[in-house]
Amino acid sequence: MFLGRRTTEDDTVVEMLASAIRRDISFSVLRPDQKLKIAGLRQTYGGSNHSMRETLRMLTSEGMVEATNQRGFRVTSATEEDLRDIILMRREIETLGLKRSLAQGDMAWESRVIAALHLVSHADGAVQQDPGDLTALEWDEACRELVMSLVAASGSPRLVGLTAQFYGQARRFRLALLREGRIDFKARKTRQHRLRDAIVARDERRALQALEEEINADLQR
């Protein structure tokens, strides 16, 4: 019989450190290709040598950080090629997840999606009025909840995990568009209405098309 490992205090510290560093990578406080030295990170974020190294390993597995040949770490590059690859993976994974959810999801799933769409609509309005960092993070979390709700009934924990991973890797590109004022919120609202209507109708073709258009627009490609 295989047993799971108990959550320890170290695990909690690592999660807190990872959350803080993810945020700062997303807002370009930590820049693409910037070297990440454990001593410097500890001065900024706290934690022990062990917990910080475990944090960087976790972020490496998520694709936010890269291990270097010198056994160090750096922030993952943010190139046009990276962006194209992230968009490709998001389209493939999220459309598969939505297709499976449409086939298997019950009314509770549908209700979660509609609630997530409502939350995103509210967050869109809030971030247009106040594009500060806190509101931007709340907006991004609302967007993330929508993405995760769409694949929640897929029946595949690995697919759900990959959705979260690649959505996280796209975060800094999306927040950069927000900071630069390059998100068309009117068109975004129209796409969200089309997605909602297609999901309620269980119209797979229209739902997948709406999702793919939203992913492309989300990252301006």
Q: Give me the DSSP letters along 119-180.
A: HHHHHHHHHHH--SHHHHHHHHHHHHHHHHHHHTTSS-HHHHHHHHHHHHHHHHHHHHHHHT
SS3 state at 43: helix
**Structure confidence at residue 72 as a pLDDT band (50, 70, 90):** confident
| The predicted structure's pLDDT at residue 175 | 87
Per-residue pLDDT tens for 81-127? 888 899 999 999 999 999 999 999 999 999 999 999 999 999 999 99
Please report, for residues 13, 27, 73, the alpha-carbon distance to residue 172 in angstroms, rounded to integers and kept in the order given.
23, 6, 18
CA atoms of 114 and 112, how far apart (whole Å): 6
| The predicted structure's pLDDT at residue 190 | 95
pLDDT higher than 50, residue 3: no
Q: How far apart are the first and last CA of the chain?
A: 48
Phi, psi for 202 (deg, rounded to 5)? 55, 40
Phi, psi for 95 (deg, rounded to 5)? -70, -35
Q: Which tokens sit at 32?
A: 């693409």
CA atoms of 221 and 152, how far apart (whole Å): 25
